[in-house]
């Protein structure tokens, strides 16, 4: 929350363009986020920012309650220049930094001295260095400052193994005790007491053993930490030296990005990270999770490979709306592949399935035949772009894939049109067991019902093989997995598997699953009330993908239930009127995918910058009260 506030504050606190800071970004960058305050400060003044709760909170957080800063100007930062947030990978170290220009060196140094961490900074190689700890340092030279945070990501001194060892230690001991357990029931009292004494002794020995093991691990951990600190600290110092020199520029190792000067902020992200270690799970864990718990589809044959490219997203804080425009240029042969995959438009009948009253929806239309045709080629081509280490594996996989898959037949079965509709938040009766007591507190297990907030949704996908789908249904009926209902079928185990009933129906050119019997019937019979029209319909019909979410209505319906805690209810109630709806769409153009997302500024707000500032202030006030 605090870091978000800090970032959001910075969105509304910088101006203009600084070529030299952009030149200092390395080609090893994994993301770049830059804030261009110029357009923003036309909507919200520095004084309004200084007077906001966001600013107050940021100062409080940054200085841990000891800051004496009361306005933006007192910070000494040149908020008329761009501020950059950059992530970089170095050997065994993941690094992120924030860089900005200093406007008033005296004010800036007075500000950083305000912190409670360390009031004195050191000077080395012309750089002034304030070390918060081994992983976080603020370094500045002349009129440029860089705040670097880094952490160790290598294997050799990794700390995770320590916890795993500790965990397995218990299991081993537990197993050992189990193996030697005698038949206790046959013992006399004396034997039992002797046995218990022996067990106590063993237990004490085990405890001591665990203590010793813990101590050994503690020392090992300490040593590893020292090594990690050393590696990270050196890495930060070396990066700072490079940053304050022209080394990257001279060696042409700097990153070149075209920054849109009209955008309030720009995010650049090259999704080639999974190439770094493709046989393992993708290294994009800061965004997608970590290790075996990472998002599905990463790794050698993972779906994320289909998204390798360079993405640039511009944020525009306009008077009447907040808008994001993005472009994704694909690596290697992906561009050509996607131009084919995204060439089709969604089945026009799908637009008639969405009601204007639905809370939200997501649609996608991609040619499954072209996807299956292109996928092996993409896989084969992937690593040749950057690395050839695993190209043989990829080629083999591509060939096997082509042999195994009949693209034509699959594309008939699943056309690639899909639609997810979030209809409503309904109160549904849910059965559960509890215990009733009689006058002597003897209890009986009783089936009861209660009302629970459950989202109503439908998922629809296109098919040209109704005959095959119907054979699935017949098998479902034959093995009593499904039963016939009006307009379709119900999965008998739906409630047990998912906690709600699941209904399905096979139609001429689509298959629908829904957890609402009535919504399923309405869609199947083509009787959807007030189907979407205008821009909403155009977005779904003309784009490769489209999404819409009525946040205000969703919040309103959520508040109808008593299941939400009073504290949260009060908060959402206060926030409800500051929310509206949001929509997004994506289509393919000559160079790659283009996507847009927008949310209108609700009535009563002068412009989007002030709207954001006031809304966040309101949130802070709420959290302060609780």
Partner 1 sequence: MKSFYVILLISITTLLSSCFEIIEDVSLNEDGSGTFKYIVNFSQSAPKVKSMLLMDEVEGVAVPTEAKMKSKFEKICLQTKKAKGISGVTYKSDFENYIFNYSCNFKKTSNLNAALDSIKTSLGDDSLGVNYFNYSVRSKKFKRRGDNLIENLRQKMSESQQLIFSGAKYTCLYRFFDEISNIKPEGSKLSANKKTSFKQVLMSEMIHDGHIIDQEIQLK
Q: Give contact residues for partner 1 (rule: CB under 8 A).
A: 170, 174, 177-178, 181, 184-185, 187, 192, 195-196, 203, 207, 210, 289, 292-293, 296, 420, 422, 425, 430, 432-435, 437, 439-441, 443, 450, 452-455, 457, 459, 496-500, 513, 558, 561, 563-565, 568
Residues 116, 132: Cα–Cα separation, whole Å: 10
User: Min. distance of Cβ 176 from partner 1 in angstroms?
Assistant: 12
580: DSSP letter: -
- Contact between 556 and 576 (Cβ < 8 Å): yes
Angle of helix 608-625 relative to helix 566-576, nearest 10 degrees, comes to: 160
Contacts of 465 (CB under 8 A, 6+ apart): 412, 413
Taking the complex as a whole, how short is the minimal distance between the CB of residue 554 and partner 1, in angstroms? 9
Q: Which residues pair with 328 in a beta bridge?
A: 311, 593
CA 93 to chain centre: 22
> Nearer Cβ to partner 1, position 162 or 420?
420
Q: How far is CA 20 from CA 40, 89, 100, 314, 371, in A?
A: 22, 21, 11, 20, 42
- Nearest distance in Å: CB 507, partner 1: 17
DSSP of 316-372, one letter per residue?
Answer: EE-SSEEEEEEEEEEPTTHHHHHHHHTT----GGGGGG-BTTSSEEEEEE--HHHHH
Smallest gap, in angstroms, from Cβ of residue 457 to partner 1?
6
User: For residues 116 and 211, which CB has a smaller minimum distance to partner 1 in the complex?
Assistant: 211
- Least CB distance to partner 1 at residue 476 (A): 17
265 Cβ neighbours under 8 A, 6+ residues apart: 11, 33, 34, 35, 36, 314, 315
Give the distance from CA 301 to its chain's centroid.
21
Min dist CB 517 to partner 1, Å, is: 17
Q: What Å distances lie between residue 287 and 31, 269, 283, 363, 490, CA to CA?
A: 11, 11, 9, 24, 38
Give me the residue label for tokens 């520095």. Answer: 46
CB of 568 to partner 1, least distance (A): 6
Query: Phi and psi at residue 15, in whole multiples of 5°?
Result: -140, 155
CA-nearest of 588, 123, 62, 44 to 318 is 44
Three-state DSSP state, 588: strand
CA 185/CA 282 separation, integer angstroms: 54
The span from the CA of 144 to the CA of 133, in Å, is 21
Which residue, 39 or 476, has its beta carbon nearer to partner 1? 476
Which of 7, 558 has the CB closer to partner 1? Answer: 558
Q: How far is the CB of 237 from partner 1 (least distance, A)?
A: 32
Q: How far is the CB of 455 from partner 1 (least distance, A)?
A: 6
Question: Which CB sits closer to partner 1, 252 or 496?
Answer: 496
Q: Least separation, in Å, of the C-beta of 366 and partner 1?
A: 16
């Amino acid at each position: 929350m605090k870091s978000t506030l800090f970032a959001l504050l910075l969105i509304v606190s910088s101006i203009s363009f600084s070529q030299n800071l952009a030149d200092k970004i390395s080609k090893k960058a994994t993301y770049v986020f830059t804030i261009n305050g110029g357009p923003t400060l036309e909507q919200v003044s520095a004084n309004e920012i200084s007077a906001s709760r966001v600013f107050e909170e940021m100062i409080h957080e940054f200085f841990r309650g000891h800051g004496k800063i009361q306005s933006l100007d007192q910070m000494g930062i040149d908020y008329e220049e761009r501020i950059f947030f950059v992530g970089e990978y170095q050997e065994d170290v993941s690094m992120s930094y924030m860089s900005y220009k200093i406007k008033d060196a005296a004010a800036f140094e007075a500000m950083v001295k305000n912190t409670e961490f360390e009031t004195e900074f050191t000077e080395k190689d012309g750089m002034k260095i304030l070390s918060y700890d081994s992983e976080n340092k603020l370094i500045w030279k002349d009129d440029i400052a860089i705040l670097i945070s880094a952490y160790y990501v290598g294997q050799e001194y990794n700390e995770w193994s320590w916890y795993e060892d500790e965990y397995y230690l218990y299991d081993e001991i537990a197993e050992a005790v189990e193996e030697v357990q005698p038949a206790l029931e046959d013992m006399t009292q004396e034997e039992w007491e002797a046995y218990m004494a022996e067990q106590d002794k063993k237990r004490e020995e085990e405890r001591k053993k665990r203590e010793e093991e813990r101590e050994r691990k503690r020392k090992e951990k300490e040593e590893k930490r020292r090594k990690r600190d050393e590696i990270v600290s050196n890495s930060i110092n070396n990066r700072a030296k490079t940053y304050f020199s022209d080394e990257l520029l001279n060696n042409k190792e700097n990153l070149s990005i075209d920054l849109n000067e009209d955008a309030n902020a720009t995010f650049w992200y090259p999704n080639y990270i999974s190439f770094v270690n493709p046989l393992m799970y993708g290294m994009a864990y800061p965004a997608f999770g970590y290790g075996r718990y990472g998002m599905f589809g990463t790794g050698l044959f993972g779906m994320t490979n289909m998204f390798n490219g360079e993405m640039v997203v511009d944020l525009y804080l306009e008077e009447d709306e907040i808008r994001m425009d993005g472009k994704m240029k694909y690596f290697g042969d992906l561009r050509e592949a996607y131009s084919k995959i995204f060439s089709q438009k969604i089945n026009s009948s799908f637009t008639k399935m969405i009601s204007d009253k639905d809370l939200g929806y997501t649609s996608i239309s991609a040619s499954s035949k072209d996807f299956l045709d292109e996928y092996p080629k993409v896989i084969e081509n992937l690593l040749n772009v950057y690395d050839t280490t695993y190209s043989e594996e990829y080629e083999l996989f591509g060939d096997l894939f082509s042999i195994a898959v009949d693209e034509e037949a699959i594309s008939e079965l699943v056309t690639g049109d899909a639609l997810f509709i979030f209809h409503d938040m309904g109160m549904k009766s849910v059965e559960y067991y509890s215990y009733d007591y009689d006058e002597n507190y003897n209890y009986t297990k009783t089936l009861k019902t209660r009302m629970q907030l459950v989202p109503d949704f439908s998922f629809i996908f296109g098919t040209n093989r109704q005959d095959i789908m119907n054979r699935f249904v017949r098998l479902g009926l034959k093995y009593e997995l499904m039963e016939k209902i009006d307009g379709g079928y119900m999965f008998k185990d739906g409630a047990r598997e998912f906690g709600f009933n699941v209904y399905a129906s096979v139609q001429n050119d689509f298959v629908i699953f829904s957890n609402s019997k009535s919504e399923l019937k309405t869609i199947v019979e083509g009787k959807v009330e007030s189907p979407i029209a205008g821009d909403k319909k155009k977005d779904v019909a003309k784009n490769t993908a489209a999404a819409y979410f009525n946040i205000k209505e969703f919040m309103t319906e959520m508040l109808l239930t008593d299941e939400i805690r009073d504290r949260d209810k009060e908060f959402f109630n206060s926030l409800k009127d500051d929310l509206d709806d949001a929509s997004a769409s994506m289509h393919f153009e000559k160079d790659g995918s283009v996507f847009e997302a927008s949310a209108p500024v609700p009535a009563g707000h002068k412009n989007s910058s002030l709207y954001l500032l006031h809304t966040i202030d309101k949130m802070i006030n709420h959290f302060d009260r609780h």
